[in-house]
Amino acid sequence: MPWQRDELALLLSPEGKRFLVKIELKKINTHHGEIDLKKLLNVSPGNVVYTHKGIPFITLKPTLYDLIHHLIRRTQIIYPKDLGYILVRLGIAPGSKVIEAGSGSGALTLTLAWWVRPTGQVFSYEKEERFIKICQQNLDWSGLNKWVKLKHKDIEEGFDEREVDAIFLDVKTPWQYLYQAWKALKGGAVLGMLVPTTNQIVEILKAINGLPFVDIEIMELLLRKYKPVAERLRPTDRMVAHTGYLVFARKMTKNE
Q: Given this model, what pLDDT does residue 3 score?
A: 96
Question: How is domain 8-62 classified at the architecture level of CATH?
Answer: Roll (3.10)
Q: pTM value?
A: 0.92
164-169 vs 97-101, strand pairing mode: parallel
Strands (E), 61-108: 97-101
**Can you state the angle between helices 80-90 and 107-116, rounded to 10 degrees?**
40
**Mean pLDDT (10-residue bins), the chain, 256 residues:** 94 95 93 95 96 97 95 87 98 99 96 98 97 95 96 96 99 98 98 98 96 97 95 94 96 85
Q: Are 40 and 9 in contact (CB under 8 A)?
A: yes
Q: Domains of the chain: which residue ranges?
A: 8-62, 66-251
Q: Do domains 8-62 and 66-251 have the same CATH topology?
A: no
Binding residues for S-adenosyl-L-methionine: 105-108, 126, 154, 170
CA dihedral 62, 145, 85, 129 (to 10 degrees): 120
Q: Given this model, what pLDDT does residue 76 score?
A: 84
Calpha distance 199→213 (Å, rounded): 20
Question: How is domain 66-251 classified at the architecture level of CATH?
Answer: 3-Layer(aba) Sandwich (3.40)
Q: Is 6 left (phi over 0), alpha (psi -120 to 50) or beta?
A: left
Q: Which amino acid would we find at residue 162? A: R
Q: Given this model, what pLDDT does residue 24 score?
A: 92
Vertex 150 angle, CA 145 and 156, to 5°: 160
Binding residues: 105-108, 126, 154, 170
Q: Given this model, what pLDDT does residue 77 score?
A: 87
Three-state SS at 55: coil
